[in-house]
Structure 1
Amino acid sequence: MNNIILRKETKEDFYDTEHMTMRAFWNLHGPGCNEHLLVHKLRESEDYLPELSRVAELDGRIVGAIFYSKAKVADGDTEHEVLTFGPLAVEPTCFNMGIGAKLLKETLALSKEAGYKGIVICGEPEYYPKHGFKTCDNFGIVHPAFGNSDAFMAYPLNDGFEEIHGTYYEAPVFETCEDEAEIEEFTKEFPYYKPLKLSCQWLHVEKLGRISEVQKNSFKIRFFEQELPAKLKGSFYEEDSEKWPVVGDYVTFLYNPNGECTILTVCERSSFLQRPDQAKTGVMQHMVANVDYTFIVTSLNDDYSFNRIARYASVALQGNSIPVAILTKSDLCNNVGRYVREVESISENIRVHAVSALLDIGLDELEEYFTPGTTICLMGSSGAGKSTLINSIVGSEVMKTSEIREDDSKGRHTTTHRQLIEVKEGVFIIDTPGMREIGMANTQDGIDDTFSDIVELIGRCKFSNCRHDTEPGCAIKAALESGELSRERYELYVNLGAENTRNYAMKKEISRWAKEMKKFKDKNNNWD
């Protein structure tokens, strides 16, 4: 605290103060924020009071700011001048350092000394009462939009404030920061942060971060540039494992700068990839969440497997992620076009690119996926060239690489656990350990999306329960005989579907058994 300096803002501080304010409010109460634009406009307002406003500086960096302006309370034809402040912003990576309290204490004293009767604010109801603020219904002051609420508060400064009653009006500048196009354009001047619309927003003491690493019951949360160690709130252990955080999840958490943070909730997911565990017990392994694209990386050497790519694609589509097949090391292949066409035949929903990182072939085609706000999941065998691919696109070594064994074209595991990595501003990669096998379970929708042509043919069969064997009017048989549908593709669809049904049944049985065991334990625990 001794290193924190409070002072007036200078022109040289403007950009840094606005950037800090943007970070402080970003995604706090909805997608993005507009407080940084308000600060920008407030300085030009005739109601702004720079003599009362202050910034907080720590080691040469702006870490807090409070902005005062004139407001009024009107009772009929009578108007009373009061103060308001806002925003009060604190750099999010400097919470729990008392910066906000220090800004408040000094500026409240300045305001009292200046002779103002009182302050009216809309602010955090769990914070400001600790500093002497009371709800405005104690003073007979109402808000023109919502009357009164716990967030509408006042602070008496000098004698006479108790005589002020009526409707509160803040400076007109506060009404000029709602245009979304203007906010978006102004925000482009600052580093990129993804706007998020989540049901878990409207945060108070909790913060919003993203899971960047999971190792057993140990978690890391990415909070702006910080990587914070975290643990689960106890109630998670009573939940189904599907509700536990995975890499890529957005979570609310209690910030602890001196130890482990506590994860409170997992926000709703835009995508969620899972697969059966490798022991083939039917238990689902929850992999990643909130990925826009799934890069299925396979090299055009002995690693290439049409069936494996189809499995990856089904898992991606089931999880609501767009599958993108990246065929690497195209410089080693004499018939790239054949492989591209073969992979394209897997599904109309899969995108295919053949590239060579060594010769810089096809990499420019992938740049469309590396736009701010995008998250990409990497899947593929060890040695497929995932790390080399990303390093080549980004132009720097952001991911570790390893050599492959020349005798069998198989690679060594560079990645040992899933992790979220920012490779460019606003672009994140979730790297996964190399997987040579991927099973099916609870992925029928993904399989159907992958083989949508076969699903359409099945819908044309004369009988709804057609087994596609000897029944008359079978569209599948006709397509196989005419060559419209290849025997290999149909057999892959059948095999994946059968595997999915088998593993899903096993999963349901394990789930049923687990519930029975829980009932048994609960019953025993209730015995006197």
Structure 2
Amino acid sequence: MTIDLTMLGWDAERAAALGRRADHRPARVARVDRGVCTVLAADGPVRATLGGGLLAAAARDLTRLPCAGDWVLLGTWPDRRVTVEAVLPRRTALVRRTAGRQATGQVLAANLDAVAVVEPVHPSPDLGRIERLLAVAYESGARPLVVLTKSDLAADPVAVARQLEAVAAGAPVLPVSVQGGTGLDALRAEVTPGRTLGLLGPSGAGKSSLVNALAGAPVLRTQEIRRVDGKGRHTTTWRSLVVVPGGGAVVDTPGVRAVGLLDGAAGLDRAFADIAEIAEGCRYADCAHTVEPGCAVRSALDTGDLPVRRWESWRALQREVAYESRRRQSRLAGERRGGWRTGRRRPARPEPPSPGGL
């Protein structure tokens, strides 16, 4: 079996990153399972373990570990053992905050051209969750969009999509029904030769069904949502890259229970671009939007031009990002002082409120 890597996004720029490493060959990570990578090389799928240098780098920074979508360099040893020796620079990275106190991130997927926030129409779209995931998608550097699944369960899915356009902040909103076969052409346009689409959303949203529809075959297991409360069960428990016939790929992510934001504010600003635009009309550049005279934000809230729910969602996410920024700065300062290496125990900082659930 041979694989045309250019159909998966390999290009001259990435080839240049090989440098003089003639003894290494490129491949793209399809899946990582307990430290063993399934990668797609020119001669077909390969199972590879992590090289020593990569493990040493990951010990200092877990984001250095390979993940689905990464382009890597493989080394082959005399005993035919294959190892991942390096991860090539990522053009985009979908990152969430990890649980725990070390203020670190976990890369869910890399080198995505577009990220689809997948949200089921039934029982009703969770606006706060869409806003949170859009912030993560914008922060990744990929093009975000919103996919409303199970649209055949809505009386007027187009009307629902229009209502969500204000929440989507400029990202396309696509109502899709795998069961009814509607809306899939617009989504297929995001998966073309050399391009990769990532799916991000809760369990039971229909991500695996979307992958199967795009791949034209049942490559991932699916499971019906519970009829009692409309909630889904975990079917995909790992992140996986699936090659789409004709070129391109799609990355499915498991329905994680929560996606915490890191300290990057750029994605949040883009996800709430409407509020940033309103704030530009404030009399004072450092307006806190509380009691200052000439506050355009307070005025928009009073007139209803800015929904209170969206304003409160933005404020909560802003506080979360600010908190993570302080935690990260504290961790970096501790590393510079050597405190993390000496094993000295530091008092635990209180965790922020749990992020909106997935």
Range into which the TM-score falls when normalised by the shorter chain: 0.7 to 0.9
Aligned position for 2:348 = none
Aligned position for 1:307 = 128
Is the 1:303–1:410 Cα contact (8 Å) retained in structure 2? no
Aligned length: 337
Matched, 1:482 2:300: no
TM-score by length of 2: 0.85
Aligned position for 1:326 = 147
TM-score by length of 1: 0.59
Alignment-mate amino acid for residue 35 of structure 2: N
Aligned position for 1:201 = 18
Matched, 1:219 2:37: yes
Alignment-mate amino acid for residue 221 of structure 1: V
Is the 1:300–1:327 Cα contact (8 Å) retained in structure 2? yes
Is the 1:276–1:284 Cα contact (8 Å) retained in structure 2? yes
C-alpha deviation, 1:340, in angstroms: 1.0
Aligned position for 2:354 = none
Alpha-carbon distance change, 280 to 347 in structure 1, aligned in 2, over 3 angstroms: farther
C-alpha deviation, 1:518, in angstroms: 4.8
Aligned position for 2:200 = 379
Q: Larger Rg: 1 or 2?
A: 1
C-alpha deviation, 1:363, in angstroms: 1.6
Task: State the identity %.
Answer: 30
Is the 1:284–1:507 Cα contact (8 Å) retained in structure 2? no
In 2, the alpha carbon distance for the partners of 1:369 and 1:299 equals: 19
In 2, the alpha carbon distance for the partners of 1:387 and 1:462 equals: 49
Matched, 1:420 2:241: yes
Alpha-carbon distance change, 419 to 389 in structure 1, aligned in 2, over 3 angstroms: closer
- Taking the TM superposition and a 5 Å limit, the aligned residue runs for 1:407-446 are 407-446=228-267
Alpha-carbon distance change, 359 to 411 in structure 1, aligned in 2, over 3 angstroms: same
In 1, the alpha carbon distance for the partners of 2:247 and 2:58 equals: 33
Aligned position for 1:229 = 48
Q: In structure 1, the residue corresponding to 2:262 is in which secondary structure? A: coil
1:11-31 Cα distance to aligned partner (Å, 9 max, x none): xxxxxxxxx9x97xx7xxxxx
Q: In structure 1, the residue corresponding to 2:302 is in which secondary structure? A: helix
In 2, the alpha carbon distance for the partners of 1:461 and 1:505 equals: 27
* More off after superposition, 278-287 vs 370-379: 278-287
Aligned position for 1:52 = none
C-alpha deviation, 1:461, in angstroms: 1.6
Alpha-carbon distance change, 204 to 482 in structure 1, aligned in 2, over 3 angstroms: same
Alpha-carbon distance change, 378 to 196 in structure 1, aligned in 2, over 3 angstroms: farther
- For residue 87 of structure 2, the aligned residue among 257, 266, 270 is 266
C-alpha deviation, 1:494, in angstroms: 1.0
- For residue 277 of structure 1, the aligned residue among 89, 95, 98 is 98
Is the 2:220–2:236 Cα contact (8 Å) retained in structure 1? no
Over the residues paired in the alignment, what is the CA RMSD in angstroms?
2.6
Q: In structure 2, the residue corresponding to 1:424 is in which secondary structure? A: coil
Alpha-carbon distance change, 421 to 442 in structure 1, aligned in 2, over 3 angstroms: same
Alpha-carbon distance change, 333 to 211 in structure 1, aligned in 2, over 3 angstroms: same
In 2, the alpha carbon distance for the partners of 1:432 and 1:280 equals: 24
Unmatched tracts of structure 2, length 5 or more: 344-358
Unmatched tracts of structure 1, length 5 or more: 1-19, 27-31, 33-190, 522-528
Q: In structure 1, the residue corresponding to 2:261 is in which secondary structure? A: coil
